[in-house]
Copies of this chain bind each other. A is one copy, B any other.
Amino acid sequence: MPSTPRRSTKQRSIVLEIVARAKTHPTAEEVFTIARKKLPEISLATVYRNLHLLAEEGKIREVQFEGSTLRYDGMTMEHEHFCCRSCGVVEDLPVSLPAATVASIQSQLGAIIERYSLDYYGVCQRCKESAA
């Protein structure tokens, strides 16, 4: 199957750059707002389209946390997240489940596990301390 030729556009590279640089796991709307500063005529549909394309290509990742709309993550290596229910901050955790844990579940189920998503929820250090 011949893959669709892909053209390189200002719009696409700006969207990628924004997500790659961001440390906040921005929503499509947030990416759009930032993108407008560099390219005032860019449209929201273009942002959505490119976010999907870039995710499909593995250049960014889609992440979904509870009670929030879909967000985008420029860190493409496997990692986990912590979300603060008080201030909403999302922190990256460079850990990952032991391969043995995943393998054990896989054989229990007789399934193929391709990936997983692990998100912790609670109160971050800052919020914990300011509440004390």
Contact = CB atoms under 8 A, between A and B. Distances in A.
A116 B119 contact: yes
Interface string A68-102: 00000000000000101100000101010000001
How many subunits of this chain does the assembly comprise? 2
Contact of A116 (B64, B108, B118, B123): B118
A122 B118 contact: no
A110 interface: yes
A94 B132 CA distance: 36
Which applies to chain A's interface (DSSP): helix, strand, loop or mixed? strand
B64 A66 contact: yes
A109 B91 contact: yes
Interface centre among A114, A116, A124, A125 (most CB of B within 10 A): A116
Contact of A111 (B84, B111, B112, B114): B84
A93 B105 contact: yes
A117 B115 contact: no
A122 B111 contact: yes
